[in-house]
Amino acid sequence: MRDLVFKNLTSEDRKRRIIASSEITDKEGMRTVIHRHFVCIVKEIHNGVNEYEQQPNLYVLKERNTKERKERFFCRIKGSLFAVNSGKLLLIQFMHSLRIELSALPEPSAI
């Protein structure tokens, strides 16, 4: 069995976009749940670039629980970049996250 859900949301002024997907898969006694999330924000820059400079961030977490037969993985990346469009300086900020959860399905009881 496999369930997929996609969301694609854009603000009215088209300066913010959110794309998300969720996937649930049951296969060979394992349940896999994957969530992806992407946010992008565009701002026009009028002042100096230096006040908007940020260091990119990377956050990773991995967890394993052998008693409960579960594993989790989480990764988040945040960053920004500059672009020029029609002579305007734009700041594009983004955040991407990925969450994966693995767990053993309960074994069906014998009849």
Read off the pLDDT of residues 69-86 as tens digits, 9 standing for 90 and up: 999 999 999 999 888 888
Range of the domain at 53: 2-104
Query: Which residues, in sequence order, are CB contacts of 92 under 8 Å at separation 6+?
Result: 40, 41, 42, 80, 81, 82, 83
What is the number of structural domains in the chain? 1
In a domain, 111, yes or no: no
8 Å CB contact between 31 and 22: no
In a domain, 109, yes or no: no
Q: What is the pTM of this model?
A: 0.78
Radius of gyration of the chain (CA): 20
In a domain, 33, yes or no: yes
Cα dihedral 78→72→30→7 (10° resolution):
-30
Q: Answer yes or no: is pLDDT of 100 > 80.
A: yes
In a domain, 110, yes or no: no
Least confident of 35-39, 46-50, 95-99: 46-50
